[in-house]
Chain A
Amino acid sequence: MIAAPFFRWDWVFDHLGLIWEKVSEHLVLTGIALGVGFVISMALALIGLRFPRTYPPITWLTGVLYTIPSLALFAFLVPITGFTVLSAEIGLVSYTLLILIRNIVAGIQGVDPAVREAALGMGYGSRRLFLEIELPLALPVILAGVRIAAVTTIGLVTITALIGQGGVGFFILQGLNRFFNTEIVLGTALSVILAVAVDLVLVLVERLLTPWTAKRTAAS
């Protein structure tokens, strides 16, 4: 009897269609979570910046959300919202909030007060000050938060396989059920590769969006 190989490439090649489908699903789940998470975080960060008293409760609340074990959260959501994308996203989004809010607020607060004073002194209104000066200058810190949130979310998406979502987590779960190493390794590897790839893309995005932080050679 020949021992079954640890990793079966032939299985992978036979299921390329399925793999692609799960990778896309993974990216969509991550994208929605980050997009919705960013919008909610921006709103909460603005409230926190405008009314500083609200900031501690906001971080406390999102901190509590962040500490809930993901398995428990999904188990709790299923009776309410079912085995749906909505359940998955509620969980995923809540885990992005703390990181994003903190980085948005830190980024805005980190803007050099002299820059703010100069802008006000030249006649900027508060809206333009925020959009044209504070937000762009906070971008490196905000994008650092987005990168952490993205990597975390890509890992967390695999867990949502438990409620019938999960992207490449599907392979991990099925592999565990069937004692089939190839699928477990494939799911894990894909998740890691996605995280690294998305992180790299975000680094590039940051470079494009913040050209002023780049070191330039002396040549004009």
Chain B
Amino acid sequence: MTTTLDAAIAKPRKQFGETFLGRLWTGLTRSSAGFAGTLLVLAIVLFSFVGPLLVDQDNPTDTTQIWTEPSAEHWLGTQYEGKDTFTILVNSGAQPIWVGTLAALMAVFIAVALGSIAGYFRGRVDAVLLQLTDVTVTIPQFLLMLAVVAFFEDIPPWGISIVVGSTMWAFLFRSIRAQVMSLKEREFVEAARLQNLGPARIVFREILPNMAGFIFVNFVISVNQAIYAIVGLYVLGLMPSGTPNWGLMIHQSWGQNFYLNPIALPFVVAPLIMIVLFTIGLVTMGRGLDQALNPRLRER
């Protein structure tokens, strides 16, 4: 997704409407679509993190109850071992979401750190970092991840976050760098420089807070991209299958041909719907925020 280079640039320290949280709130509520997306994301996060505390976690294998139809007792019926599908679904969201979020946090952190260094200091460091990004962008990420997972079979989920995060940052780096370069020329940064405040303070107190909205939008987009990779690895069945999650449900549906069987539909369709809703939520939330925080885009 494209985000125009000039993000929200407000004069620092103003009333609530002008602070980052204020603008975030405006951004999330301004467009009805963006607001709906945010609600959708929140609903699924609540469903996946609070839901498991509310449902009965006792879900035994029951060979007399295989593939039963949805009923009052089993809202989505039962699966191939006679376990309750709804309980599995509730427990399945947490892992992809936290692994994706961690990966996105890491990508954004690296991109912001390297992007500010390159954009603020320019010169040799900048040239080297640009070269590094060019190389990282060209590496086919998913293949690299697959290779890591194929050779190291017992990789923990946070290990996947690290692999995903350390290849994904490069896509963000250029736009962050361009932002820093443009903000650096603004009067308030020049004023800070004239006061001899030092680069660390200027970057952290003057420049980065002014592009917080831009960074946040990119964080939302990155979560979506990380989910693509992580769920994909689970769909392939390459990850440890201990914790239930959406990708693993799809892997089971496909690996054992349940998807061709109409009786298994609730089990097959449920994770697909959850992923579609969550990713649509993230995208609409990101677009809504982008439009509100991004003055140049707002005019379009």
Q: Do A and B come from one complex?
A: no
